[in-house]
C-alpha cells in the first residue's frame, strides 16, 4: 500500500520512510501515539497531501494522480469531524453519501437507530461524539470496498464503542477492507487481523497479533514443588519476583520453551500464564520515550 513514504512540514519531519501494506478484506489496525504520523499517512492515502518522497498505492491506483476514481470506492471518517453549522446531521449524512454515489436507506435508518443519533439537530449543536456518529453513519451506510477510519471512536461512549465494533465486524463479513487508525488498544485487539505500529514517522512493527506477541514477553506465575532458585540465570527471563514458593517472571517469546522445560523439572503445582497485551507491545516500542519522561517501561508492563 505504501513504501518509503516521506513527508515534511517545514522543518518537521512527519513521515520518515514509512512502509505499510494492507491486504484486501482485512481489518488493519494502525497504532501509534499522537503526532506519530497516522493522520498524515491517511491524508496522503486520500490524495489530500502530496508525499515528498516514496510511493503510495491505494486500491491499485495513485491517490494523488487519480483521487476521484479511488474515492468512489472508499469512505473516510476523519479524526476530528467538523460539520456545517447550518446543516442538520441527517443532511450532512445524505450529502456525504450522495457525493460518494448514494447510500442504502435501510442501512442508514438502522445505523442512526443503533448509534442513537438525532439527525434533526443542526451541525453546530452536536457534541464531539455525535459529530463522529454523523461521519460514521455516512461512511458505514455507503457501499464501498474500503473504509478508512481515523480514530473514529475517540469521542464515543463505551456503549457506542460496542455498536461500532458490531458494524466493523459486519463490514468485514461483507468482505470490506478496514484501515483503522487508533490508540485504543482494546479496540484494536478485538477487531484487527493485523496491526502496524508507527513511531516517529516510521512503521516499527507490523504483523498479526499472534506474530507480534511471539516477539514479546509472556508473563508466568508458577508454584513449584522444589524451590526455584536459579530462575534469573535462564536466558530471556526478566522481572523475577519470588514470594512464599511462588515465582512471577516474564520471558521473551523465543525463550519460552526453555523456561517451561526448566520449570517442569521442578514439579509444577500450579501455573498461570498470560500472553502479552497489546499495551505491553506498545510500551516496548515506546519504552525509550517513556524513560526519558522518567517512567520505566518495564515497570509499567
Partner 1 sequence: MTTVATRAPAETGRADGGNAMSGTGTMLRFILRRDRIRLPVWIGVLTLAQVYYAALYPTVYATRADRMNQAQLYEDNPAFGAMTGPGHGLDDYTYGAMQSNELLGFMVVFVALMSVLLFVRHTRAEEETGRAELLRGTVLGRHAPLTAALLAVGGANILLGLLVAVGMASLGVESIDWTGSFAYGGAYAAVGLVFTGVAAVTTQVTEYGRAAAGTAGALIGVAYVLRAGGDMGDGTLSWFSPIGWAQGTRAYVDERWWPLGLALVVAAALVVAAFVLSTRRDLGAGLRQPRPGPATASASLGTPQGFALRLQRGGLIWWAVAMFAAGAMYGSFVDIMEDYSDNEMIQNLLEDVGGTSLTESWLSTVVSLLAIVCTVFAILAALRPRREETSGRAESVLATPLSRTRWVATHVVVAMAGGLGLLLATGAGLGLTAAASTGDAGMLWDILGAILAYAPALWLTAGLTVAVFGLVPRAIGLAWALLVYAVFITYFGGILDLPGWVRDLSPYNHIPLMPADDFSAAPLLVLTVLAGALIAAGLVGFRRRDVEGN
Residue whose CB is less far from partner 1, 71 or 213? 71
* Strand-by-strand arrangement of the 2-9 sheet: 12-20, 2-9, 53-56
Smallest CA-to-CA distance from 264 within 222, 217, 296 is with 222
Shortest gap between Cβ of 47 and partner 1 (angstroms)? 8
Shortest gap between Cβ of 119 and partner 1 (angstroms)? 4
Q: Which stretches of the chain are DSSP H helices?
A: 38-45, 67-71, 89-100, 105-114, 128-140, 158-173, 185-191, 209-214, 256-264, 278-285, 287-292, 297-300
Q: Over the range 120-148, which residues count as b (16 or more CB within 10 Å of their CB) and which as e?
A: eeebeebeebbbbbbbbbbbbbbebebbb
Residue whose CB is less far from partner 1, 116 or 296? 116
Q: What is the DSSP letter of 46?
A: T
Residue whose CB is less far from partner 1, 201 or 276? 201
Cα 208 to its chain centre, rounded Å, is 12
Residue whose CB is less far from partner 1, 46 or 209? 46
Residue whose CB is less far from partner 1, 46 or 198? 46
**DSSP β-ladder status, 237-243 and 246-252:** antiparallel
Shortest gap between Cβ of 98 and partner 1 (angstroms)? 3
Shortest gap between Cβ of 91 and partner 1 (angstroms)? 4
Residue whose CB is less far from partner 1, 2 or 92? 92
Q: Can you tell me the distance from the alpha carbon of 131 to that of 119, in angstroms, rounded to the nearest whole number?
A: 10
Cell numbers for 45: 492515502
Shortest gap between Cβ of 115 and partner 1 (angstroms)? 14
| Interface residues toward partner 1, by CB under 8 A | 39, 43, 46, 48-50, 67-69, 71-72, 74-76, 78, 80-88, 90-96, 98-101, 118-122, 124-125, 135, 148
Shortest gap between Cβ of 286 and partner 1 (angstroms)? 24
The residue behind cell 489496525 is 29
In contact, 26 and 1? CB cutoff 8 Å: no
Residue whose CB is less far from partner 1, 58 or 250? 58
- The dihedral sign for the CA sequence 181, 184, 187, 192: positive
Shortest gap between Cβ of 191 and partner 1 (angstroms)? 21
Shortest gap between Cβ of 39 and partner 1 (angstroms)? 7
Residue whose CB is less far from partner 1, 63 or 276? 63
Q: Can you tell me the distance from the alpha carbon of 102 to that of 200, in angstroms, rounded to the nearest whole number?
A: 38
Non-local CB neighbours of 236 within 8 Å, separated by 6+ positions: 251, 252, 254, 255, 256, 258, 259
Amino acid at each position: 500500500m505504501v513504501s518509503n513514504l516521506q513527508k515534511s512540514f517545514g522543518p518537521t519531519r512527519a513521515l520518515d520512510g514509512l512502509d505499510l501494506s494492507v491486504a484486501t478484506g482485512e481489518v488493519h489496525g494502525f497504532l501509534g501515539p499522537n503526532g506519530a504520523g497516522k493522520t498524515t499517512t491517511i491524508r496522503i492515502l486520500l490524495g489530500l497531501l502530496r508525499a515528498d518522497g516514496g510511493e503510495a498505492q491505494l486500491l491499485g491506483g495513485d491517490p494523488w494522480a487519480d483521487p476521484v476514481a479511488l474515492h468512489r470506492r472508499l469512505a473516510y471518517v476523519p479524526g476530528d469531524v467538523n460539520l456545517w453549522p447550518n446543516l442538520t446531521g441527517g443532511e450532512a449524512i445524505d450529502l456525504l453519501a450522495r457525493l460518494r454515489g448514494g447510500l442504502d436507506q435501510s442501512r442508514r435508518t438502522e445505523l442512526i437507530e443503533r448509534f442513537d443519533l438525532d439527525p434533526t439537530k443542526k451541525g453546530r449543536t452536536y457534541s464531539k461524539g455525535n459529530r463522529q456518529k454523523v461521519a460514521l453513519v455516512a461512511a458505514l451506510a455507503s457501499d464501498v470496498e474500503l473504509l478508512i477510519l481515523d480514530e473514529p471512536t475517540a469521542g464515543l461512549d463505551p456503549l457506542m464503542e460496542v455498536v461500532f465494533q458490531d458494524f466493523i465486524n459486519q463490514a468485514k463479513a461483507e468482505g470490506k477492507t478496514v484501515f483503522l487508525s487508533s490508540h485504543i488498544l482494546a479496540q484494536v485487539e478485538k477487531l484487527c487481523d493485523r496491526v502496524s505500529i508507527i513511531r516517529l514517522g516510521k512503521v516499527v512493527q507490523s504483523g498479526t497479533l499472534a506474530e507480534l506477541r511471539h516477539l514479546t514477553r509472556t508473563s508466568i506465575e508458577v508454584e513449584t514443588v522444589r524451590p526455584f532458585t536459579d530462575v534469573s540465570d535462564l536466558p530471556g527471563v526478566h522481572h523475577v519476583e519470588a514470594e512464599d514458593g511462588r515465582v512471577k517472571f516474564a520471558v521473551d517469546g523465543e525463550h519460552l520453551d526453555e523456561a517451561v522445560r526448566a520449570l517442569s523439572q521442578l514439579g509444577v503445582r500450579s501455573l498461570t500464564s498470560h500472553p502479552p497485551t497489546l499495551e505491553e507491545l506498545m510500551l516496548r516500542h515506546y519504552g525509550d520515550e517513556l524513560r526519558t519522561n522518567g517512567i520505566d517501561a518495564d515497570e509499567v508492563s
